[in-house]
């Protein structure tokens, strides 16, 4: 009888490889998997703080470092880790070999610092697996057509792992991080928050883009498109983690799966805008041109054919957004530009919303009872977000968690 | 009228790129060269202490780190530097682009940690020069047939620079270091030591392998074979430096060009060796097998068909040499193994020795007058070396420098 051997892709983030001792720990973990006769591919990030160190060097030289050179610079971080992990495994008697983004065959477009994966040609990885090696792969990096190094943006190692799992038809992709799964809310705010056993790609995506930094959002989209089974686990503790899988009926038992929040928000308001046709395009075209991502937009009904237009951006983009709006305001004869920085977004996420009605109404009642003013609202099929004053974040998250009985969540 | 533009390869060592401020300095130097309308290729080492930092990480993991992984690990150092130097040049308005060993096209054999360059295919460098870019090249690294990263051994950035200068038919290769040229002796020992204006490849090679750490010895051999004109200069001061060029008649005016010394020496003696034919092979074959490089060998005439055999190795190799000798002693029934660590080698170097006689005799007289015992002697056409007690090094170097009137040296 021939037992088919499973193939697992494991990804270890920066804290999981942050010191030589941590590297020893994960090497032991990897060695155990190989003893169980599973085939395994390991993707690693740069050691904790290493990317920051390199970024600081770059910024000592230039306020806006050249993107091609920045990619080369940052790619050193993961190269260091793969060499050290491979050495450690050999020290433990495990056959292992390191592979850079180029050696793996991660081909990307040329959008330096945020490149998109175009194809994965993992021939060397397949060959290494056939020869019973554990391939140790540098996350976050690839090469473009010119054979120049590119990087995949913040959290890009997740994308490397998932793309490689898809290309190799792996049984699953395990993402090791410093939390032991996805929770119904941030446990630092809600001590009774529960770990979810499973979550759908769509929910995970909403959570990722809403600020729960467990998984890169682009990686989740890639996983959903290629049906890669993900498990989010802690590299510091044992436990079954949270599975990120295709949505199924049982997931709709609860209306809401989790409460998330995002403090990285700011509101820009253009006051006194002449209410003429086509005015929205004249406001938001320049914003898009400046590569600023707008989240929510709201237009207040004003007087005298005048209106106020507000929108939210991340705090990083706010100063550029003000620059752009000052120009726009002059052009379209708006009165002035106002900015509010002390805001945050609180959201409910759940595929159950499709089956349960009244979720939004209940959310608004909770806020109203506490006297929390809702400044903006946006919804999708499986998400409701409210912008509120930043000081109310903890209160809102706690109340919503209790109201939707997430401390009793079992999935 | 078309002026032919000269092409210069410049190499900057670890101290020359050791901090962001130092990188700013050399970028300014490079920018000045481009303003003078010269074409320039820049080769850089890892930032000072970076290689040591990476090596320490590796040794925290393994006493003998895997050579392939070590090469990948160490190659990060130069990648960091090229990115930072290219960023800095762009900041100064100079078109610059970084190139890794692979992107340059430095193809080597697979002898990890001490690979040999097999060919240089510098197409991307040529193209970059045509497009008026300053190529910033990572020294010390190449790739093998399997497209794995290799490194060229200690001081390997010199070899990268010289191999690239040969491949591009550069007018000259400038080696920037923390000293402003090659001296008649170590100025820390002999304050009256003089900088040499020029020196032959052969002399430079003897000096390099005798411990004057200005240039990697393999790089000097490569330069001699390909007639690459080298200039050794300081990156901290202006000055014409020392030219390393083909030997010519004028160089023979002085019998001696310089006095060098090497403290990294130890003497191993096999006492009571039966004096039978083939005994030398039985002693030195195992040494060669163990990859230990033996410098000098001396055989004392003994009594009763017994002899003593002494040889010198570097201090790094001494413990392995003792291990090997203990085995050999048992096998050939020698009496015992003795080791002397407090020895050093003092040498006179000069192509003028070919024309002047009596150099060796004069050297021995100087030593004898001072009561310095000469333990071993070795000579080549342009060099005489003596092994002496380490405590006499300074005295011997000073006396020889004075005796051969090197403080008056003009070349």
Q: Does A20 touch chain B (CB under 8 A)?
A: yes
Strand pairing partners for A300?
Answer: A308
Residue B223 pLDDT grade (very low, low, confident, very high; cuts 50, 70, 90): very high
Tell me, yes or no, if A23 comes closer than 8 A to chain B by beta carbon.
yes
Question: What are the beta bridge partners of residue B245?
Answer: B200
Task: Check A62 against B20: CB less than 8 A apart.
Answer: no
Report the mean per-residue pLDDT for chain A. 92
Please indicate if any CB of chain A lies within 8 Å of the CB of B55. Answer: no
On whether the CB atoms of residues B347 and B260 are closer than 8 A, the answer is yes
Does the beta-carbon distance from B61 to A88 stay under 8 Å? Answer: yes
pLDDT of the residue at A211 = 66
- A57 at B interface, C-beta within 8 A: yes
Instruction: Phi first, then psi: give them for residue B244, nearest 5 degrees.
Output: -110, 110
- pTM to 2 decimals? 0.86
Q: In chain B, whose CA is at the least distance from the CA of A18?
A: B57
> Is B66 near chain A, with CB under 8 Å?
yes
Of B58, B69, B98, the CB nearest to A72: B98
Determine the Cα–Cα distance for residues A385 and A374; give it in Å rounded to an integer.
10
Residue A293 Ramachandran class (φ > 0 left, ψ -120 to 50 alpha, else beta): beta
What's the pLDDT score for residue B380?
Answer: 87
Do the Cβ atoms of B302 and B270 come closer than 8 Å? no
The pLDDT, as a whole number, for residue A98 is 98
Please state, in angstroms and rounded to a whole number, the distance separating the CA atoms of residues B149 and B126: 22
ipTM comes to: 0.84
Residues A238 and A25: their CA atoms lie apart, in Å, by 12
CATH number for region A259-408: 3.30.2130.10
- d(CA B349, CA B201) in angstroms, rounded, equals 12
Query: Does residue B307 contact residue B275 with C-beta atoms inside 8 Å?
Result: yes
Given this model, what pLDDT does residue B2 score?
45
- For residue B72, what pLDDT band results from cuts at 50, 70 and 90? very high
pLDDT tens-digit readout, B119-172: 999 999 999 999 999 999 999 999 999 999 999 998 999 999 999 999 999 999
- Size of chain A, expressed as the number of residues it contains: 411
Q: What percent of chain B has pLDDT over 70?
A: 98
Whether the CB-CB separation of A343 and A261 falls below 8 Å is answered with no
Q: Would the pLDDT of B4 be above 70?
A: no
Residue boundaries of the structural domains of chain A: 7-178, 259-408
Phi and psi at A263, nearest 5°, equal -85, -10
Give the per-residue pLDDT at B1.
42
- How much is the pLDDT for B253? 83
Summarize the confidence of residues B249-271 as an average pLDDT. 91
pLDDT tens digits along B328-356 = 999 999 999 999 999 999 999 999 998 88
Mean pLDDT is highest, among A285-299, B68-82, B184-198, B358-372, for B68-82
Question: Distance between CA atoms of A191 and B268, rounded to whole angstroms?
Answer: 69
* A21-30 pLDDT per residue, tens: 999 999 999 9
A43 pLDDT tier (thresholds 50, 70, 90): very high
User: Residue A2: pLDDT above 60?
Assistant: no
Q: What is the pLDDT of residues B199-208, one digit of tens each?
A: 999 999 988 8
pLDDT of residue A298: 86
B211 pLDDT band, cuts 50/70/90, is low
- Topology of domain B7-178 in CATH is Carbamate kinase (3.40.1160)
Reported as a pLDDT band with limits 50, 70 and 90, residue A37 is confident
Q: What is the 3-state secondary structure (H, E, C) of B204-266?
A: HHHHHHCCCCCCCHHHHHHHHHHCCCEEEEECCCCCCCEEEECCCHHHHCCCCCEEEEEEEEE
């Amino acid at each position: 009888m021939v037992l088919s051997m499973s193939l697992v892709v494991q990804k270890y983030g920066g804290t999981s490889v942050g010191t030589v001792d941590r590297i020893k720990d994960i090497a032991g973990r990897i060695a155990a998997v190989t003893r169980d006769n599973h085939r395994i591919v390991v993707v690693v990030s740069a050691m904790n703080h290493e990317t920051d160190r390199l970024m600081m060097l770059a910024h000592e030289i230039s306020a806006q470092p050249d993107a091609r050179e920045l990619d080369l610079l940052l790619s050193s971080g993961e190269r260091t880790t793969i060499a050290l992990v491979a050495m450690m495994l050999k020290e433990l008697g495990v056959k292992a070999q390191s592979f850079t983004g180029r050696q793996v065959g991660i081909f990307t477009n040329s959008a330096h610092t945020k490149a998109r994966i175009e194809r994965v040609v993992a021939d060397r990885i397949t060959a290494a697996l056939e020869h019973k090696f554990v391939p140790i792969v540098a996350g976050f990096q690839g090469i473009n057509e010119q054979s120049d190094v590119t990087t995949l943006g913040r959290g890009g190692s997740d994308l490397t792992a998932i793309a490689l799992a898809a290309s190799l038809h792996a049984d699953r992709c395990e993402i090791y991080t410093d939390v032991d799964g996805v929770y119904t809310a941030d446990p630092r705010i809600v001590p009774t928050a529960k770990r979810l056993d499973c979550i759908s790609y769509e929910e995970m995506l909403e959570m990722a883009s809403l600020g729960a930094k467990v998984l890169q959002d682009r990686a989740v989209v890639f996983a959903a498109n290629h049906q890669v089974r993900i498990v989010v686990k802690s590299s510091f503790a044992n436990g079954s983690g949270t599975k990120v899988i295709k949505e199924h009926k049982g997931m709709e038992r609860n209306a809401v799966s989790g409460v998330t929040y995002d403090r990285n928000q700011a509101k820009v308001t253009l006051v006194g805008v002449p209410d003429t046709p086509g005015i929205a395009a004249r406001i938001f075209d320049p914003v898009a041109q400046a590569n600023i991502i707008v989240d929510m937009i709201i237009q207040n009904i004003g007087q005298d054919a005048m209106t106020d237009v507000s929108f939210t951006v991340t705090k990083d983009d706010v100063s550029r957004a003000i620059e752009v709006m000052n120009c726009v305001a002059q052009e379209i004869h708006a009165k002035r530009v106002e900015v509010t920085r002390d805001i945050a977004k609180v959201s409910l996420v759940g595929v159950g919303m499709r089956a349960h009605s009244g979720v939004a109404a209940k959310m608004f009642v909770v806020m109203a009872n506490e006297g929390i003013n809702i400044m903006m609202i946006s919804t999708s099929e499986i998400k409701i977000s409210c912008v509120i004053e930043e000081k109310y974040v903890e209160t809102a998250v706690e109340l919503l968690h209790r109201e939707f009985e997430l401390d009793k969540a079992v999935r």
